[in-house]
Amino acid sequence: MNTFIALLRGINVSGQKKLPMADLRSMLEKMDFKDTSTYIQSGNAVFSSHKNDTHALEDEIRRHIQRTFGFDVPVLVKSKADFEKIFRKNPFKDAEALEKNQVYFILLKNTPDKEKRIALQKEIYKTEKFAIEDDCVYLLCENGYGKAKFNNNLVERKLKVKATTRNYRTMARLWEMAGK
């Protein structure tokens, strides 16, 4: 069995697209996924499957959410190995920044085009630092993500890829749940 982490974008935000995690977990179990668990209300799930294709899993989960709950939600699925690679490559490891919840991971559905990546890397944001690595943008927000100019929507617009953002604590907890 293979372990995967599923990240849903835009659920349970300001009363929109309400999806209780117990219901998500139940749906995943009905899809024959094993060892299912969820973490906080922002749409994070860890599960096991005999399947290998993360894009097929994304589509399958997205279709089931649409059929079961009546709304479309972007779904990003990473294998345990890919998640580990993303987690370990984080260049922002300052203990104080981690403690102050200033480190974020903007996980990308695909690796962006080189030209778009280079253009974005040239941009400067006064209170934010970022690094683009393959299918993740690492972000350090001195004033917190809520006040950041560099955010998920900007990354999607500039890189032309779907994305979802998680803070360091959530990433660390999901990594722990996946069984390090």
Which of 59, 79, 99 represents a domain boundary (last residue)? 79
Q: Is 165 within a domain?
A: yes
Q: Which domain holds residue 155?
A: 89-177
Q: Is 28 within a domain?
A: yes
Report which residue type is found at 122.
K
Residue 12 pLDDT: 78
Whether residue 166 is predicted with pLDDT greater than 80 in this model: the reply is: yes
pLDDT digits (tens, 9 = 90+) for 106-152: 999 999 999 999 999 999 999 999 999 999 999 999 999 999 999 99
Residue 180 pLDDT: 67
Q: Is 84 within a domain?
A: no
Which of 79, 97, 118 represents a domain boundary (last residue)? 79
CATH code for position 170: 3.30.70
Contact, 71 vs 17, CB < 8 A? yes
pLDDT digits (tens, 9 = 90+) for 10-67: 897 777 889 999 999 999 999 999 999 999 988 999 999 999 999 999 999 999 999 9
Split into its structural domains, the chain has a count of: 2
Stated pTM of the model:
0.94
Query: Looking at the structure, do residues 110 and 61 belong to the same domain, yes or no?
Result: no
Query: Looking at the structure, do residues 21 and 55 belong to the same domain, yes or no?
Result: yes
Query: Looking at the structure, do residues 96 and 168 belong to the same domain, yes or no?
Result: yes
Q: Which residues contact 16 (CB under 8 A, 6 or more apart)?
A: 10
Q: Give, for 77, the enclosing helix (H) or strand (E).
A: strand 75-79
Query: Looking at the structure, do residues 67 and 123 belong to the same domain, yes or no?
Result: no
Q: 147 by DSSP, 3-state: which?
A: helix
